[in-house]
């Protein structure tokens, strides 16, 4: 628990650092600095301009419906040793860089925490009892990610991009429970495997203030620690984002023959999505002083069943989830903060599992 406290303090500290500056499932988080509104979990097809950076801190909190002790004991009597956890928390640092106008490189490094894990076991007398395992937490696997925009029809405001990357096994795989034993591979913060991922994103600007985004991402689970296979994962998302408020500053730099520069700015409620740079001596630029986006998303996933050593398939794993996720983003200059509340609409899980309940995604970010 002491180590978990340190991780939490580090997360809070970094959050405060980025609050003094402006910012996408799991992979390639959407920081939302475009001139238009944008999603939180859905990965848009838009890329970062060449030479620009985006940094962010993003946390996901997932609450589970837990099993009662008597139900865990009943599982143990049937020799189904099913675990029950209270929550999952994953704060993560993310960074993206525009290698070209159409190619963005990203990375994501999380801390994964599964809280209050317990299961039913049989004691030496063969009677069922509750085994409190505690909390499993630590540094997770690093994801490196590339997004190539192969379609950019400006007149139709339509973009499409290929997504590809890999999870690198940097995570901790030797966390012990309260009994001094190693947690199972399904509870370790790291997977111990190189898991490739590939996908597709599409973005359509419907009006200057309304955008539609959708993406699909397929993660191939490779055998990791103790030959554990977490199951291939299919993520699919769709989002509508609307810019509710947008206050811009319009600045002019007039260079005269004598070299004197006259500067002035004014605020406007009008919407301008782009920065306009003119080649003649009069330079104009529009930028958001403050913006508020309203967002509604559908976030779905389907995962295959887990496979342990000796090809032992876990019948109590895998299945389908679908969230309806309203949210908002606040943008101030180059700083952004966001919150998404996921409400489960579908929980079609295999066997007996603690079903996910409410899901919160929140964070901060800064663009350069």
User: Which CB contacts under 8 angstroms, 24+ apart, belong to 2-7?
Assistant: 3/137, 3/138, 4/113, 4/135, 4/137, 7/91, 7/111, 7/113, 7/137, 7/138
CB atoms within 10 A of CB 124: 5
Least confident of 4-18, 86-100, 202-216, 279-293: 4-18
- What's the CA gap between 41 and 110, in Å, rounded? 16
Q: Which residue in 161, 317, 148, 299 sits closest to 232, CA to CA?
A: 317
Question: Has residue 23 got a pLDDT over 90?
Answer: no
Question: Has residue 337 got a pLDDT over 90?
Answer: yes
Structure confidence at residue 359 as a pLDDT band (50, 70, 90): very high
Structure confidence at residue 318 as a pLDDT band (50, 70, 90): very high
Prediction pTM value: 0.80
Question: Has residue 256 got a pLDDT over 70?
Answer: no
Query: Can you tell me which residue has the tokens 């004197």?
Result: 260
Q: Are 238 and 42 in contact (CB under 8 A)?
A: yes
Q: What pLDDT, on the 0 to 100 scale, is given for residue 260?
A: 38
Cβ neighbors of 332 (< 8 A, separation 6 or more) are: 22, 289, 290
Q: If you average pLDDT over residues 32-44, what whole number do you get?
A: 73
Rounded alpha-carbon distances, angstroms, from residue 365 to 154, 219, 298: 27, 26, 23
Domain 2-367 has CATH 2.40.160.40: yes
Question: Has residue 25 got a pLDDT over 90?
Answer: no
State whether the Cα torsion 168-172-177-179 is positive or negative: positive
Name the region of 319 (left: φ>0; alpha: ψ -120 to 50; beta: rest): left
User: Does residue 25 or residue 320 have the better pLDDT?
Assistant: 320
Task: Compute the half-sphere exposure of residue 93: CA atoms within 13 Å on the CB side of its CA.
Answer: 13
Structure confidence by residue, pLDDT tens digits, 125-149: 888 999 999 999 999 999 999 999 9
Tokens of 109: 């490094």
Domain boundaries, the chain: 2-367
């Amino acid at each position: 628990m002491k180590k978990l406290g340190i991780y939490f303090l580090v997360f809070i500290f970094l959050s405060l650092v980025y609050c003094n500056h402006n910012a996408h499932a799991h992979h390639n988080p959407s920081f939302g600095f475009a001139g238009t509104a944008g999603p939180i979990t859905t990965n848009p097809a838009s890329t970062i301009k060449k030479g620009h950076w985006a940094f962010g801190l993003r946390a996901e909190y997932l609450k589970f419906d837990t099993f009662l002790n008597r139900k865990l004991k009943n599982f143990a009597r049937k020799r189904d040793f099913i675990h029950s956890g209270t929550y999952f928390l994953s704060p993560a640092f993310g960074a993206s860089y525009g290698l070209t106008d159409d190619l963005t490189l990203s990375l994501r490094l999380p801390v994964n925490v599964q809280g209050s894990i317990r299961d039913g076991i049989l004691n030496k007398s063969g009677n069922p009892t509750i085994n409190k395992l505690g909390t499993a937490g630590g540094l997770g696997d690093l994801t490196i990610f590339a997004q190539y925009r192969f379609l950019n029809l400006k007149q139709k405001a339509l973009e499409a991009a290929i997504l590809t990357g890999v999870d690198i096994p940097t995570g901790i795989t030797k966390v012990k429970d309260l009994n001094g034993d190693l947690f199972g591979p399904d509870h370790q913060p790291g997977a111990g495997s190189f898991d490739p991922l590939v996908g597709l994103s599409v973005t359509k600007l419907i009006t200057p203030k309304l955008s539609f985004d959708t993406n699909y991402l397929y993660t191939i689970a490779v055998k990791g620690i103790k030959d554990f296979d977490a199951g291939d994962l299919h993520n699919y998302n769709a989002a509508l984002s609307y810019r509710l408020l947008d206050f811009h500053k319009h600045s002019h730099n007039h260079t005269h023959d004598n070299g004197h520069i006259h500067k002035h700015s004014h605020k406007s409620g009008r919407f301008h999505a782009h920065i306009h740079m003119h080649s003649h001596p009069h330079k104009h630029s529009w930028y958001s002083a403050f913006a508020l986006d309203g967002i509604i998303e559908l976030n779905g996933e389907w995962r295959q069943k887990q496979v342990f050593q000796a090809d032992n398939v876990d019948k109590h794993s895998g299945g389908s989830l679908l969230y309806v996720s309203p949210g908002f983003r606040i943008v101030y200059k180059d700083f952004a903060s966001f919150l998404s509340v996921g409400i489960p609409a579908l929980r079609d899980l295999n066997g007996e599992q603690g079903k996910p309940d409410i899901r919160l995604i929140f964070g901060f970010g800064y663009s350069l």
